[in-house]
Amino acid sequence: MKGNHLLFRFRFVGKVALLCLAFTQPLVSLPPPAGTVDRAYALAAGGRSYTATWIWNTGMALKNKEGSLQFLRQNGVNLVFLQVDPDVPASDYSSFIGEASARGIEVHALGGAPDWILSANQIKMYKLIDWVKTYNGTVAAAEQFKGIHLDVEPFVMRAWYADTDAMLGLWRDTVSGFVEEMRAETPHLIAGADLPVWLEQFSVPDGRGGRTTLSEWMIRQLDQTTLMAYRDNASDIVSSIKTELGEAERNGKPVIIAVETVPSSEGFITFYGKGRSQMMRELGTVSEMLESSGSYAGIAIHDYESWARLRE
């Protein structure tokens, strides 16, 4: 996923010092605190099935607020990951989120970039959390973000292949730092993130004296996980997330299953050439295949602009 991963003004004290300290300490994954499972379902699932999408070009989408909301409503969207853009006035956010809320659409603040896992850049994540906290403190409840959604994909960087083990450690540190800060600063908000569907191939310490897959470790940390199951048919989509879905069920965590609509030279990963009707039929089949899962929390379509351009 791509976007203009922008920075914004913020209020924070001591975050840089904390980051430096964090990188001198061994990475530890603690067991979920008591009540984490119940909290995850209360916050992230809440009994509703999501149809979600990402909005990266926030300025354009909010400038055409009525058109954006109409598309979302017509397509049954009830969850939007909206990228935080500092050039967009706070009044535009509050107007859009307020009207989205009135239509039953939940909005989460979106941010991230592949290099956010690097020590010099992790502070950007803390700025995002602080920005959301500050914004939410100045608007009515119906105009507030209901969560923060992290999109950090370090595997697209050259450094990933140069030293994968080091990158895995930094990625885990980023996610644990994200969740810890969310718990401390915005405990009522959903801590969510996008994850690829192949992280089970990596074995990591589980924080309990044993080992687990990286996918289970990530799912356990987060309130809500969106699995990027980028395939173009229901069978392959469900097959690609089988391991992660089982891990989510064991940990009592909700997962959303995402598909792609952006053009790609790898045709099997996107619905770009197949069109909207075929995509929705396949997603309907996905929902039918997963309806018995206690962790299946709905589907997501990446992204708003490319979805809107899909042929029927």
pLDDT in tens, 62-74: 999 999 999 999 9
Q: What is the pTM of this model?
A: 0.86
Q: Quick one: which of 106, 81, 46 has its CA closest to 300?
A: 81
User: What pLDDT score does 86 carry?
Assistant: 86
Domains delineated in the chain: 31-309 (3.20.20.80)
User: What pLDDT score does 147 carry?
Assistant: 98
User: What pLDDT score does 47 carry?
Assistant: 58
The secondary structure of the chain in percent helix, strand, coil, rounded to multiples of 5, reads: 50, 15, 35
| 3-state SS, residue 179 | helix
Per-residue pLDDT of 129-149, as tens digits, reads 999 999 999 999 999 999 999
Alpha-carbon span 177 to 154, nearest angstrom: 16
The enclosing H or E element of 262 equals none
User: Within the chain, which residues score under 50 in pLDDT?
Assistant: 2-45
Alpha-carbon span 41 to 47, nearest angstrom: 8
User: What pLDDT score does 266 carry?
Assistant: 85
> Which residues, in sequence order, are bridge partners of residue 268?
none
Alpha-carbon span 107 to 100, nearest angstrom: 8
Q: Please state the separation of Cα 188 from the chain's center in Å.
A: 16
User: What pLDDT score does 7 carry?
Assistant: 33
Alpha-carbon span 245 to 64, nearest angstrom: 37
Number of helices and strands in the chain (H, E): 13, 10
